Amino acid sequence: MPVQLPKLNFPASTFKLKEVDGHFSIFDQSRRKFVNLTPEEWVRQNCLAFLRDQKGYPMSLLAVEKSFKLNGKLLRYDIVAYSKTASPVLLVECKAPEIKISQKTFDQIAVYNLELKVPYLMVTNGLDHYCCVIDAENSRFHFLKEIPDFANL
């Protein structure tokens, strides 16, 4: 029986799926392996495809689900895009479609950014997307109408 995946607010993309023992997996081009197809993973893979295909982010400069320590606590971000000079420039937090984007989501990505110090933050549940640029000099952020193209970072 084919897997029923929710329609997201991203352009349609083609994904490699496989079923093993009634569980579906999706191929992650960044990690170069099949990973468990959870609702959050569906959003993450669609976001990666969007960044790659629509916004020009090279897959070689996208990191997915990497762990880091902050104040002795092990954390894991969803997606980080790096510049051509290997500086982190965009941090993305993905939530499952049924999870409403809230202040808690923005607080989570802000904590992650204490370590990464990227200029652009994006949060998405696949249905709603928010992106902002950090004005570090004035400790403010400004929401953008669009996610920036890689060429404009």
Extents of the domains making up the chain:
56-152
- Taken as a whole, the chain contains a residue count of 153
User: For 81-123, what is each residue's pLDDT tens digit?
Assistant: 999 999 999 999 999 999 999 999 998 998 899 888 999 999 9
Residue 1, pLDDT > 60, answer: no
User: For 24-73, what is each residue's pLDDT tens digit?
Assistant: 999 999 999 999 999 999 999 999 999 999 999 999 999 999 888 888 88
Quick check: helix, strand or coil at residue 19?
strand
Neighbours of 147 (CB within 10 A): 20
Residue type, 60: S
Quickly state the pLDDT bin for 138 (edges 50, 70, 90). low
* Domain spanning 56-152, CATH class: alpha beta
pLDDT at 79: 97
Residue 11, pLDDT > 60, answer: yes
List the structure tokens of 22. 């009634």
Residue 126 CB contacts under 8 Å (≥ 6 apart), including other chains: 6, 8, 9, 10, 42, 43, 46, 47, 94, 96, 97
Looking at residue 138, the DSSP 8-state letter turns out to be G
pLDDT at 2: 59
Distance CA 70, CA 78 (A): 16
Residue 45 CA from chain centroid, whole number: 8
